[in-house]
Structure 1
């Protein structure tokens, strides 16, 4: 049952394609059920974040192309549009890729911690959809342990720069004194909260939090000392903002060109700095064409992030060593699943013989035979049955001079530890 990892990310695909291939959280359960329902697909997990969309599947031989064909159909994309941007890993390479993703080695921000939470969310979604079995369940648990060890045993997480931090840093470069700036945050998820906390640390003058669910905006605003508004009222407050940072799970832009254009007029053309770190994008691309507007997308943050990457590359090399070892350990466990376990057959055969002899002993008692006679029959007959096959094989080994098998029998039955009657090899 080969394991396959298939996907695209910020290194292989442009932003507009990543938008098309992204899975909204509310759509993921149905997508998982559909994917796992394909002939030959035994297990399925979907990981979809702002920088990547990946499918992890265990498939039967002959069904290796099923996940790729499903991905094309699901998003109505042709092979010409999709395939050149995809990467594909199988077996140990797929395991290594999952470990690297969860530890942040595949992230735009090297070693960033948020991706592990996103992998855990993907795991919970797959569990809820009942699309995991023992092999991938074990893989995910192993993944979480590897990520924890890498973060504990290396400095991969030291001075980690998140996407949220990078957005704030870029804003700082545009506005020398954030203490004079009003910042509008669109969304109320983890990324926006991280950005809010970084802004508070820099003593931003005012924070406005806009979200589709007003209660969530109010909760975040209360935690960071901001002011909450409903997303429906965004246009009424946009002109107040010197800086806008957006990260929602919306499938469509929440801020369009006309709204920004109106806000710029109200601001009398004072510059506005916008950072869109959502995929799909929250801010229409046409906004970038407006005068006095500076729009950055998540891909534009890369040059800022690269400045901080070198400090963590040594830790990344240490992480790779840990991952290599753990890949082999997981694959050894996975290979063991395909090996016929002789212990199960041995126990099954012994229990079958026990039941047969026990039934005959009970029949003797039912016909009036003495209990001692029935017990003696049970003990002698069962001993003979259990030892018949190994005794015959050991006699053949002794006659053939097969010393290896004789010594193996000693170890198997504990005779080399004094477990026999003191005699030598049978």
Structure 2
């Protein structure tokens, strides 16, 4: 049994493709079950964010099945997805997952949100019943590695994230944020980070619009803001200088028509919009309107690049820790294979012993001499225990596989000069 990772991310695929491959939270339970059946593994998890969609599997199945399933589930062109995807096996899959957990594979180097998203993916797979001992062990090891990297390096000490990048851009358009109003669409972790960054930069007027009013109110109250439903957006949009959207909606929640009406009410005062959702929350056509500056997650790349330099040295240290961690994990996994092998060997040996012991007990019950019974028991048990190793060593000798014979010496704890034991076994 091995590990497999397959998917796409911001490095390999444009947002237009990533949004087609994304999974909403409501889709995941059924999708996980379907992927498990199609790929042929009982262990599979799905991580789906605005920047990546990845499948994690404990399977020796053909890697193409993972991409075949993604293609079929989302009704995509197979060649297109293949061109923009990646596949990792075993230690490479383990190392990739660790890099994801530590934020080293993120658009914002070292960003911490991905670890929480990975933990959510783990929980969702647990609830769907598609997590077993192998994937569970890997997830837990990745979580531990990420914690170790953050405590041992400076990778997470600078406030660099998609939310921070959005705030940086907003300040370029509105230098004095204290006079601005922000409409935040959604109430998840990313929007909460945006609200915190804006608040720290002096912005006081925050409106949070969400599908569920209670969640919007909870976040708005934290910053002394106003809460609203998504259906209220057309009536509130004209108040917003800054709009940041990040929901799990499968369709846009803000269209070009609403934006046009808001601009008229604002007498064409500029509006800054950031759509960090995948699929997109804001219709792309909104960017065609004058006085609206619309950015997607891909557009934030340049801003993020400026902040990466502060984390590059820390990232080098983190890569060393991850390389060592992945090797250690695979070593532990191989040790578990040995434990399983030894358990099977012991079971077989004990079965042989019990069978011969039963025959010996019956012989004693039938009146045979104890000395004769014990001698027969020892001889037969010895011959049966030695049969398979003897056959295999004779085959190795006949085909000139001296390395296997030397390994047998180590395994059995004997040496040729100690009575030429192996030669005697081979010669029969």
TM-score by length of 2: 0.84
Look up the SS of the partner of 1:299 in the other structure.
coil
Paired residues in the alignment total 401
Task: Give the stretch that moved more between structures: 296-305 or 37-46.
Answer: 37-46
Change in CA separation of 1:67 and 1:326 when aligned onto 2, cut-off 3 Å: same
The 1:6–1:382 alpha-carbon spacing in structure 2 relative to 1, beyond 3 Å, is: same
Once the two structures are overlaid, the 10-residue window that deviates more, 317-326 or 127-136, is 127-136
Answer yes or no: is 1:15 the counterpart of 2:22.
no
For 2:26 and 2:349, how far apart are their aligned partners in 1?
52
Question: Deviating runs (4+, > 6 A) in structure 1?
Answer: 360-367, 376-394, 402-408
Unaligned runs of 5+ in 1: 412-426
1:40 equivalent in alignment to 2:26: no
Matched, 1:107 2:117: no
Does structure 2 retain, via aligned residues, the 8 Å contact 1:361–1:377? no
Q: How many angstroms apart in 1 are the aligned matches of 2:407 and 2:105? A: 49
Alpha-carbon shift at residue 321 of structure 1 (Å)? 0.7
Q: Judging changes above 3 Å, is the alpha-carbon distance between structure 1 residues 39 and 294 closer, same or farther for their aligned structure 2 residues?
A: closer
Within-5 A mapping of 1:386-425: none
Q: SS where residue 5 of structure 1 aligns?
A: strand
Partners of 2:325 and 2:252 lie apart in 1 by 42
Q: After TM superposition, list the pairs within 5 Å mapping 1:77-156 onto structure 2.
A: 77-156=76-155
8 Å Cα contact 1:272/1:292 also seen in 2: yes
Deviation of residue 3 (structure 1)? 2.6
After TM superposition, give the deviation of residue 40 of structure 1 in Å.
3.3
**SS of residue paired to 2:38:** coil
Q: Is the partner of 2:269 in helix, strand or coil? A: coil
- Does the aligned pair in 1 maintain the 2:207–2:228 contact within 8 Å? yes
Give the equivalent residue in structure 2 for 1:422. Answer: none
Residue 295 of structure 2: SS of its match in structure 1?
strand
1:24-423 to 2 correspondences below 5 Å: 24-38=24-38, 40-61=40-61, 63-336=62-335, 341=340, 343-352=342-351, 355-356=354-355
Once the two structures are overlaid, the 10-residue window that deviates more, 336-345 or 200-209, is 336-345
CA distance in 2 between partners of 1:378 and 1:172 (Å): 93
SS at match of 1:38: helix
Assess, with a 3 A threshold, how the Cα gap between structure 1 residues 378 and 217 changes in structure 2: closer, same or farther. farther
Query: Against the structure 1 CA distance between its residues 382 and 326, is the aligned structure 2 distance closer, same or farther, given a 3 Å change threshold?
Result: farther
Q: CA deviation at 1:23?
A: 0.7
Per-residue deviation, 1:388: 7.0
3-state DSSP of counterpart to 2:203 = coil
The answer to whether the 8 A contact 2:167-2:194 is kept is yes
Distance 2:373 2:183 in 1: 84
Deviations 1:218-275 (A, max 9, x none): 1111112111111111111111111111111111110001001101111111111111
SS at match of 2:130: coil
State the distance in 1 between where 2:130 and 2:204 align. Answer: 48
